[in-house]
């Protein structure tokens, strides 16, 4: 996720609709209601949904269990977004059903990288204290 999107301020309506879409997508994937071939949707986690200001497009951040085949999972979900959207239409009662754009969620990798950097700093600090 780049700096521009993380600093953008979202309206209460965007946040509320995004959370509604996120919860319903999670239930759709758990119950395999979208019937996506060649993918086990029960292993997909929807980590975040960001809505555009007009609420007509939803950017959906997903990660498969264990982060395995992330790019392939996102590609498959993008190819079969129409099936997911159809299943979502049966659950949501909103004026416009948003277009779904699936995106890789790299936040766990980023958090792990930061955690490793912090661990290295702590180890270096302990070594410095030992020699001083």
Q: Which fold has domain 3-106?
A: GMP Synthetase; Chain A, domain 3 (3.30.300)
- Kindly give, in sequence order, each residue whose CB lies less than 8 Å from that of residue 5, ignoring residues fewer than 6 positions away: 50
DSSP string spanning 93-114?
A: --SSPPEEEEEE--HHHHHHHH
The pTM assigned to this predicted structure is: 0.77
Q: Dump pLDDT digits (tens) for 13-25.
A: 999 999 999 999 9
- How is residue 91 annotated by DSSP? T
Mean pLDDT of the chain: 87
């Amino acid at each position: 996720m780049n700096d521009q999107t993380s600093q953008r301020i979202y309206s209460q309506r965007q946040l509320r609709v995004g959370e509604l879409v996120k919860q319903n997508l999670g239930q759709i994937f758990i119950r395999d209601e979208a019937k996506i071939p060649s993918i086990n949707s029960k292993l997909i986690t929807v980590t975040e949904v960001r809505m555009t200001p007009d609420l007509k497009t939803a950017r959906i951040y997903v990660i498969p269990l264990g982060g395995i085949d992330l790019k392939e999972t996102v590609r498959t979900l993008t190819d079969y977004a129409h099936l997911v959207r159809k299943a979502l239409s049966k659950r949501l009662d909103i004026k416009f059903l948003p277009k779904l754009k699936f995106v890789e969620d790299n936040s766990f990798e980023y958090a792990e990288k930061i955690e490793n950097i912090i661990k290295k700093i702590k180890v270096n600090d302990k070594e410095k204290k030992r020699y001083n």
